[in-house]
Amino acid sequence: MRPGLLLDRDGVLNDDTGYVGTVDRFVWRPGALDTLRRARRLGLAVAVVTNQAGIARGFYTWEAFATLTRWMMTEAARAGGPIAAVYASPYHPEGLPPWNQPSPLRKPAPGMLLAAAVDLSLDLARSVMIGDQPTDIAAARAAGVGRAIRIADQPDPLADATLLDLTGVTDDLLISL
């Protein structure tokens, strides 16, 4: 069992310009690649856990998402901060079949985080989740993640820390749990 860093994608790793489904619309946010490198240096397994309602809504396909994900993982590894695994939930209640059903994989449910814990042998109590939505914090709590960090303009009292972006991430925020 090892500690992990669980990252939301849109609004955390990349600019959330709305339903980003292609490489040309994926722009790394400040501090993102530095944080991935930091996680590697600290020995944290990195998993991305991302709701992708754009698939349910028909804005892009699962295959397009997979293409973008492969590119993202290659870029991260090339930058020295590999992402071990990416989990995505394509479900949304207002989406198209077969994605228009409730799913334990859609945050705020903890399904993707729990799957990452099994696959990567993560000790969730010693792991950290970073997300930009209240649902990210809720998913972290539901999964028993030790520390939940919110990316937001205003302090989130439900989070353990709030940062404007990933440039504020320090070693202390990722370890010593």
CB of 2 to Mg ion, least distance (A): 25
Nearer to Mg ion, 10 or 31 (CB): 10
Q: Is 8 helix (H, G, I), strand (E, B) or coil?
A: coil
Q: Applying CB under 5 A, does 99 fall inside the site for Mg ion? A: no
Q: Applying CB under 5 A, does 44 fall inside the site for Mg ion? A: no
Task: Give yes or no: 10 in active site.
Answer: yes
Give which of 135, 85, 93 is closest to 110, Cα–Cα.
135
Task: Give yes or no: 24 in active site.
Answer: no
- Of 3, 11, 31, 81, the one binding Mg ion (CB under 5 A) is 11
Nearer to Mg ion, 1 or 164 (CB): 164
Q: Which residue has the tokens 């990722």?
A: 174
Distance between CA atoms of 104 and 127, rounded to whole angstroms?
20
Cis peptide before 98 (omega within 30 of 0): yes
Tell me the helices (H) and strands (E) count for the chain, helix number first.
6, 6
Count Cβ atoms below 10 Å from residue 91 Cβ, excluding itself: 21
CB of 121 to Mg ion, least distance (A): 26
- Of 3, 8, 72, 92, the one binding Mg ion (CB under 5 A) is 8
> Segment contacting Mg ion (CB under 5 A): 23-31, 83-91, 97-105, 131-139?
131-139
Nearer to Mg ion, 28 or 126 (CB): 28
Closest-by-Cβ residue to Mg ion is 11
- Of 10, 87, 149, 163, the one binding Mg ion (CB under 5 A) is 10
Element (H, E) at 63: helix 62-78
The answer to whether the beta carbons of residues 109 and 117 sit under 8 Å apart is: no
Residues that bind Mg ion (CB under 5 A): 8, 10-11, 132
